[in-house]
Structure 1
Amino acid sequence: MTEWQVHAVKYADRNARTRADSFIFDDNHDAPHAMDYFMWVLRCGDQTILVDTGYDGAEAEARDRPIRMDPVTALAPLGVKPDDITTLIVTHLHYDHAGGLDLFPNATLHMQSAEMAYATGPCMCHDTLRMPFTADHICTAIKRLYAGKVVFYDGDGQVADGVTVHCIGGHSRGLQAVRVRTSSGWLVLASDAAHFWENLHARKPFPIVVDMQNMLDGFTTLEQLASHPNLIIPGHDPLVRGYFPQGIADHITRLDRGPTRDIKT
């Protein structure tokens, strides 16, 4: 049975946020609540799979959301060279997850059909729903499609032995989580199906949402996919870096060995 190493790569953070930015109906809505931004690298022998791409300096400037390092620099300690990435799982097409698609020109994108339809369909007529997307990123995905380098899934699918994707929706119509077989059991990269562990554990929805029921049902799906609740990895929680061991650089965290202690939020 194939077992994968899983590395969380932090490339940015945003600390000038409050709990109102992270949770609907939170009693302490004005309290500070920081957010980290990650990509993920899956490794098994000579196989490397990249999950999401982060966003680059141009996008950071356009949105006034600075990054600590560009995605290519952030991935370099793992020996990841952009041209060598041929398998790229796109959990969804929001700017902070697909803002670097053009940096990986040889990658075939693995994504949900529902996400491409959502990002190019009538829902994008609404400013509120369009806000997390950037047109240039979507155009890059479409060009990759016309080059024959997109694999679509409708629900559950297998990307490689020990790596599967599962449509969750909620935050974005075609948001997918990634399930990875590791030495600690089945680990689930929730991406934005749970931005923070508190979203999941307290069943508190994140405010950017297209389908509230899908988001809430998705919390249960994440729990069913993982071998243990400690192996559900939220997409933006700074606590990840405290519960899991540091990797080969300060901004890289090793996930597949499991947390150093039980996770409590």
Structure 2
Amino acid sequence: MTPWEVFAVKYADRNERTRKDSFLFDDDHHLPHDMDYFIWVLRRGNEIVLVDTGYDQEEGDRRGRPVRLNPVEALAPLGIDPLSVSTIIVTHLHYDHAGGLKHFPNATIHLQAAEMAYATGPCMCHGTLQAPFTADHVCEAVQRLYSGRVVFHNGDGEVREGVTVHHTGGHSKGLQAVRVLTEVGWMCLASDTSHYYENFLEAKPFPIVVDLDDMLDGFRIIRSLASSDKLVIPGHDPLVRDYFPAHGPEHVIRLDRGPVKWEAS
């Protein structure tokens, strides 16, 4: 089986957060705790699979969370033409993961059926649960469905040879992680199954949670999917940029050759 190249592409950050924004239970809630936002790219020869799409300046302005680079601009150093992208794995439909779907109009999306049901169902009557979603992004996913460009998964599923998705839930009802074969072993792109290394390594729940039991089980699942904890990639941790090398511009990080250092415990 031919391994994939894997890149994390940073497009935004939030650096005025504290640990209370990252950990449900913690002794140092007052301390600063930065957050990075990523899109992930899987590449094998001429094949490209995007994992999530980030959000764009329009959404950033609406939420008061500006982007450093719009998704298309952020991906440009990897030679990615948004009109040529045919496959996108959407880990979940929160604004910062599905907010750029409209920029890739020809792509088929891979989504957990539970996530579509959650984002379009009665749970969205609750403002707290609705807050991480934007209706336009959910409607874009529904439009893809009606044009025959949604592949639903119920639990585990294969997207390409060496690329599989796995339902974890917890943070969102239909959240999924991605397992991908690299030259150094199986890597797990955890997305928001674990926002930070600390979440899964120390079983510390993230505060935005639909099902706490599923979130805690998700920490176990992502560790089981990767060949080692070093190859579990959390969804928002700035440490990813410390552990893995830049690939050209500093916002593009090469993951598939493994970390150049490892300090997590």
TM range (shorter): over 0.9
State the Cα distance separating 1:248 from its structure 2 match: 1.9
Query: 1:223-242 to 2 correspondence within 5 Å?
Result: 223-242=223-242
The residue number in structure 1 matching 2:255 is 255
TM-score by structure 2 length? 0.99
User: What residue identity is the alignment partner of 1:264?
Assistant: A
Query: 1:196-235 to 2 correspondence within 5 Å?
Result: 196-235=196-235
Distance 2:82 2:159 in 1: 19
Contact 1:230 / 1:263 at 8 angstroms: preserved in 2?
Answer: no
After superposition, the CA RMSD in angstroms is 0.6
Structure 1, gaps ≥5 residues long: none
Structure 2, gaps ≥5 residues long: none
User: What residue identity is the alignment partner of 2:161?
Assistant: D
Distance 1:248 1:187 in 2: 22
Query: 1:173-188 to 2 correspondence within 5 Å?
Result: 173-188=173-188
Q: Share of identical aligned residues, percent? A: 65
Distance 1:263 1:215 in 2: 24
Distance 2:68 2:236 in 1: 15
Query: 1:141-180 to 2 correspondence within 5 Å?
Result: 141-180=141-180
State the Cα distance separating 1:263 from its structure 2 match: 3.5
Distance 2:21 2:107 in 1: 33
State the Cα distance separating 1:261 from its structure 2 match: 2.0
The residue number in structure 2 matching 1:125 is 125
Q: Please list every run of at least 4 consecutive aligned residues from structure 1 whose deviation after the TM superposition is greater than 6 angstroms.
A: none
State the Cα distance separating 1:262 from its structure 2 match: 2.4
The residue number in structure 2 matching 1:69 is 69
Distance 1:263 1:108 in 2: 38
Distance 1:264 1:152 in 2: 35
The residue number in structure 1 matching 2:29 is 29
SS at match of 1:233: strand
Greater shift after overlay, 162-171 or 243-252? 243-252
Distance 2:263 2:225 in 1: 17
State the Cα distance separating 1:249 from its structure 2 match: 1.3
Query: How many residues are aligned here?
Result: 265
SS at match of 1:181: strand
SS at match of 2:220: helix
SS at match of 1:72: helix
Distance 1:89 1:248 in 2: 24
